[in-house]
Amino acid sequence: MKKLSLLTQVLFGTTMPGYSLIIHVPTDYSTILAAILAATDGDTVLVAKGTYKELLTFEGRDIVVASEFLTSGDSLCIDETILHPS
């Protein structure tokens, strides 16, 4: 029964108030802006290495948008995650 309880928490816990999500670009959303618009306060938008030609707006959301350096500690993620507003 404990396994079912843990599984229930894993499956449904992130949708309860007070929990934040990590949204991956481009895995979960193909663009940073789409991920931002899907995010809610407290969420993190984690952006993979690559060049993104986007103009971003946070629409008042209290979120974190970062390269994968945030979770990997790999400084190459900073240099290889490029945003060109278009």
pLDDT value of residue 19: 85
Q: Give per-residue pLDDT as tens, 5-32.
A: 333 334 444 445 668 999 999 999 999 9
pTM for the complete prediction?
0.77
pLDDT value of residue 7: 37
Q: How many CB atoms lie within 10 A of CB 22?
A: 15
Which one-letter DSSP state was computed for residue 14?
G
pLDDT value of residue 9: 39
CB 80 within 8 A of CB 50: yes
Helices vs strands, H then E, count in the chain: 4, 5
Separation of alpha carbons 70 and 63, rounded Å: 14
Name residue 64's beta-bridge partners: 44
Q: Give per-residue pLDDT as tens, 26-73.
A: 999 999 999 999 999 999 999 999 999 999 999 999 999 999 999 999
pLDDT value of residue 72: 95
